[in-house]
Structure formats: C-alpha cells, structure tokens
C-alpha cells in the first residue's frame, strides 16, 4: 500500500460505534437516550449539541463506560464497552483540581493512579502545560489561577493520560465568551496535534460547528441523535469564519434539525 492509500485507510478506521444505543433511568420511566446509531472515525472532532436533558452527558458517560446502556451495542476500538478503559479520558465543566497540589502535580494525577511518575512523566506534564499556555504556572496552586487557567490545567491533565479518545462535557461552559473562544481555538490546535478522536458536548450551536468535523444534533424526549451535520469548513479554522455565509448555512441546518425555528 502506498503511504497515501495507507493514510486514507487509517483515517477511515471507526474507533467508536453505536447501534441502537439506548439508556433508560429510574426503572425505565426516563428514556435518556433512544436508538442512537453512529460511527466515529479516528481523529475526528465530533460536537454533540442539543437542549438540556436530551442525553448528551448520558451518551458521553456510556462511551466512557461510566454507566451501562439499557439496549443496543456500543463498541470502542472494536470491542464492546463494559466499563471504564484507559484509552478514554473525560473532562467536565468544573476543573476539579486538588487545591493542595500545584498545577503540575494535578496534571500528574492520572499517572499516579497507575504508578509512581517518572522523570519522563514530569517532562511530558511540563510540555503539556506549555501546550495549554501555562509554562510559567506549573508550580502555582489552583487558588492562584483564574477559572480559565484552571480549565487549562484540567485539559493538560486530560492529555497526560495519553488516551486517544477524549470526551469533553461542556469543558469551557462556565467561562466568559472571550476565554472560551480562545480555549476552543487552542483545543482544536492541540487536538489536531495529538490526533485524538474527540467528543465535545455544548449547548452552543456556533461553538459546536466551529470546532467539529461532524455535529451530532440531539433532540429530547426521548433523547435522540436527530441528524448528523457534516462540517466541511477548511482547517485551521479562524474565528472570522463564523461570520461567513457558509458558516451561517450550517447554523441554519443545525437549528432546523433542532426544531429551533
Ligand atoms: N443518574 C440518573 N438518574 C436518573 N435520571 C438521569 C440520570 N442521569 C440523567 N438522567 C436523565 O436523563 C436525561 C438526560 O440527561 P443528560 O444529563 O444526559 O442530559 P444533557 O443533554 O447532558 O443535559 P444538560 O445539557 O442539561 O447537561 C434527563 O432527563 C435526566 O434527568
Ligand atoms: Mg449534560
């Protein structure tokens, strides 16, 4: 196989797939997710967008193996999801840093769960803190950092796991718009750099489109993936693209799928 052909074959590898995935809570009375069918290819950036309660976090937690599905089949790297796994890492809206540990000590936490960090682990942690723009704050405590900086530490910690599938549940949702936009741009750069397959949850339609290769548009009661919108905007993306006609067409397409007109 030529290199280009091989690259194409690699790019098309499905790393997460769902067939009729459903989840009910409270003894079957709450259908959080129903009949979700999807294939996610390696290295893709997927945004999940939809109203509150439509099952976005549920879908992420199912993929992470934190909860069991009620129906359907869900596979990661070709094997059925049966519980948490090391090739998946998740990040939440709150940074949840340990206050008594410095930034680098927080980044090293996932490593410490498995073993004593080596010099290489510390070098990598410093490198990751550099990638998220915190080179000079590696030895600061969370209380000395702004909310945005704390989320950067959480992002570095996410990457320290070395997981090739990243799940982010409204990671920058609590931040102001400027900080969020800035972090989104950095997240895209880092994601492209490490090549991780990424699922990103947001309420924000523009943010969902701006980041993604594909937007899963979800609707509620019961939670469903109503539509998958392909985003063929060129990369690297710039904030300016958001005012262009092509971008606005995509916003329209997503809003229509949401029934938001
Ligand atoms: N542990 C649980 N027990 C019972 N019901 C739950 C549980 N987790 C979620 N649900 C229900 O499942 C539905 C989907 O919840 P989920 O948290 O996935 O929504 P979401 O799309 O992430 O919403 P939001 O945007 O508000 O975070 C909701 O109706 C919710 O009440
Ligand atoms: Mg949620």
Tens-of-pLDDT digits for all 261 residues of the chain? 445 555 555 557 999 999 999 999 988 889 999 999 999 999 999 999 999 999 999 999 999 999 999 999 999 999 999 999 989 999 998 889 999 999 999 999 999 998 999 999 999 999 999 999 999 999 999 999 999 999 999 999 999 999 999 999 999 988 899 999 999 999 999 999 999 999 999 999 999 999 999 999 999 989 999 999 999 999 999 999 999 999 999 999 999 999 877
Look up the CATH number of domain 13-87+166-175+196-261: 3.40.50.300
The closest-lying atom of ligand 1 relative to the alpha carbon of residue 218 is: 21
Ligand approaching nearest to the C-alpha of 58: 1
- The confidence score (pLDDT) of residue 4 equals 54
Query: Could you tell me the distance, in angstroms and rounded to a whole number, from the CA of residue 25 to the centre of ligand 1?
Result: 9
* Residue of the CA atom closest to atom 8 of ligand 1: 58
- The confidence score (pLDDT) of residue 5 equals 55
Query: Could you tell me the distance, in angstroms and rounded to a whole number, from the CA of residue 255 to the centre of ligand 1?
Result: 21
Domain boundaries, the chain: 13-87+166-175+196-261, 94-162
66 lines ligand 1 (CB under 6 A): no
Total-model pTM: 0.93
- The confidence score (pLDDT) of residue 116 equals 96
57 lines ligand 1 (CB under 6 A): yes
Which of 186, 227, 226, 194 is closest to 210 using CA atoms? 186
100 lines ligand 1 (CB under 6 A): no
* Residue of the CA atom closest to atom 3 of ligand 1: 25
- Is 17 buried (19+), middle (13-18) or exposed (0-12) by CB count in 10 A? middle
53 lines ligand 1 (CB under 6 A): yes
For residues 45 and 213, the answer to whether their CB atoms sit within 8 Å is yes
Q: How far is 211 from 235, CA to CA, in rounded Å? A: 10
- The confidence score (pLDDT) of residue 10 equals 54
């Amino acid at each position: 196989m030529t290199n280009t052909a091989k690259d194409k074959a690699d790019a098309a590898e499905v790393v997460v797939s769902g067939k009729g995935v459903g989840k009910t809570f409270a003894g079957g009375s709450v259908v959080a997710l129903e009949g979700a069918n999807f294939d996610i290819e390696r290295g893709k950036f997927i945004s999940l967008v939809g109203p509150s309660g439509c099952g976005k976090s549920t879908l992420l937690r199912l993929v992470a193996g934190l909860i069991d599905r009620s129906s359907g089949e869900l596979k990661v790297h070709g094997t059925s999801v049966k519980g948490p796994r090391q090739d998946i890492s998740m990040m939440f809206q709150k940074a949840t840093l340990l206050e008594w540990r410095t930034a680098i000590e927080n980044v090293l936490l996932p490593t410490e769960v498995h073993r004593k960090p080596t010099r290489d682990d510390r070098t990598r942690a410093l490198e990751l803190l550099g990638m998220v723009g915190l080179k000079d704050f590696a030895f600061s405590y969370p209380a000395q950092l702004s909310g945005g900086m704390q989320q950067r530490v959480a992002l570095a910690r996410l990457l320290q796991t070395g997981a090739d599938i990243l799940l982010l549940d409204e990671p920058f949702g609590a931040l102001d718009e400027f900080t969020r936009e800035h972090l989104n741009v950095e997240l895209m750069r880092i994601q492209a750099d490490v090549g991780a397959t990424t699922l990103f949850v947001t309420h924000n339609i523009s943010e969902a489109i701006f980041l993604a290769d594909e937007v899963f548009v979800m609707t509620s009661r019961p939670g469903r993936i109503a539509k998958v919108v392909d985003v063929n905007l060129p990369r690297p993306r710039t904030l300016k693209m958001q005012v262009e006609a092509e971008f606005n067409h995509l916003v329209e397409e997503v809003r229509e799928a949401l029934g938001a007109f």
